[in-house]
Amino acid sequence: MSDKLPPTLSTRTPWEEIKNPIWPMTSFILRRSVNPYLFPAQLDEAMASQALSLFQEAFTHVKTLDSPKIFSSNELTPTERELIAEHFLEPAKLQKSGPNQAIVLDNPSTFLGLLNFDDHLELRMFTTQEDWEVSWNRLCQLEKELGALLDFSFNPRFGYLTSSLRDCGTGLKIRAHLHLPGLILKGQLDESLEAAQLEGNRALSFEADPGEFIGDLLHLENSFSIGIPENEILSSLIKSASHLAISEKKAREELKTEESAHIKDLVGRAFGLLSHSYELHAKETLGALSLLRLGLSLGWVEGLKDSDLSSLYFFARRAHLHHLENQTISQEELPHKRSQFLREKLRESKLTF
Partner 1 sequence: MSERPVECSGCQKPIKYCYKVIEGNAISTSEMCADCPILTSKLRQGPQSESEEMQSQVLCCHKCHTTIEAIQRNSPLGCSECYLVFEGLIIEELLKQEAIAPRLRASIEVNRSIPLHLGGSPTKAPQEITLSKRLQELNSALNEALNKEQYEEAAYLRDQIKELMKKEHER
295 φ/ψ angles, rounded to the nearest 5 degrees: -60, -40
Among 74, 165, 302, 347, binds partner 1 (CB under 8 A): 165
Select 12 or 239, whichever has its Cβ closest to partner 1. Answer: 239
Select 40 or 215, whichever has its Cβ closest to partner 1. Answer: 40
Interface with partner 1 includes 224 (CB under 8 A)? yes
Size of the site for partner 1 (CB under 8 A): 55
CA distances from 290 to 35, 91, 132, 180, 277 (A): 45, 20, 24, 9, 17
Interface with partner 1 includes 42 (CB under 8 A)? yes
Select 242 or 328, whichever has its Cβ closest to partner 1. Answer: 242
Are the CB atoms for 115 and 53 separated by under 8 Å? no
Q: Using CA atoms, how far apart are residues 151 and 32, in angstroms rounded to an integer?
A: 10
Interface with partner 1 includes 326 (CB under 8 A)? no
Name the minimum Å distance from CB 341 to partner 1.
35
Look at residues 229, 245, 233, 131 and name the one whose alpha carbon lies nearest to residue 177. 245
CA distances from 300 to 233, 245, 305, 308, 352 (A): 38, 21, 12, 16, 5
- Greatest CA separation for the chain: 65
Among 88, 117, 136, 300, binds partner 1 (CB under 8 A): 136
Interface with partner 1 includes 172 (CB under 8 A)? yes
Q: Please, which of residues 235-294 interact with partner 1 by CB under 8 A? A: 235, 239, 242-243, 245-246, 249-250
Among 147, 214, 279, 336, binds partner 1 (CB under 8 A): 147
> 164-186: b or e for each residue (b if 16 or more CB lie within 10 Å)?
eeebbbbbbbbbbbbbbbbbbbb
Interface with partner 1 includes 121 (CB under 8 A)? no
Question: Which of the stretches 56-64, 181-189, 226-234, 342-350 binds partner 1 when contact is defined by CB under 8 A?
Answer: 226-234
Select 123 or 312, whichever has its Cβ closest to partner 1. Answer: 123
Q: Using CA atoms, how far apart are residues 232 and 240, in angstroms rounded to an integer?
A: 12
Q: List beta partners, residue 175.
A: 27, 221
Residue 215 DSSP symbol? G
Interface with partner 1 includes 347 (CB under 8 A)? no
Select 147 or 268, whichever has its Cβ closest to partner 1. Answer: 147
Q: Using CA atoms, how far apart are residues 246 and 115, in angstroms rounded to an integer?
A: 38
Which positions touch partner 1 (CB under 8 A)? 33, 35, 37-39, 41-42, 118, 130-131, 133, 136-137, 140-141, 143-144, 147, 152-159, 161-166, 168-170, 172, 199-200, 224-231, 234-235, 239, 242-243, 245-246, 249-250
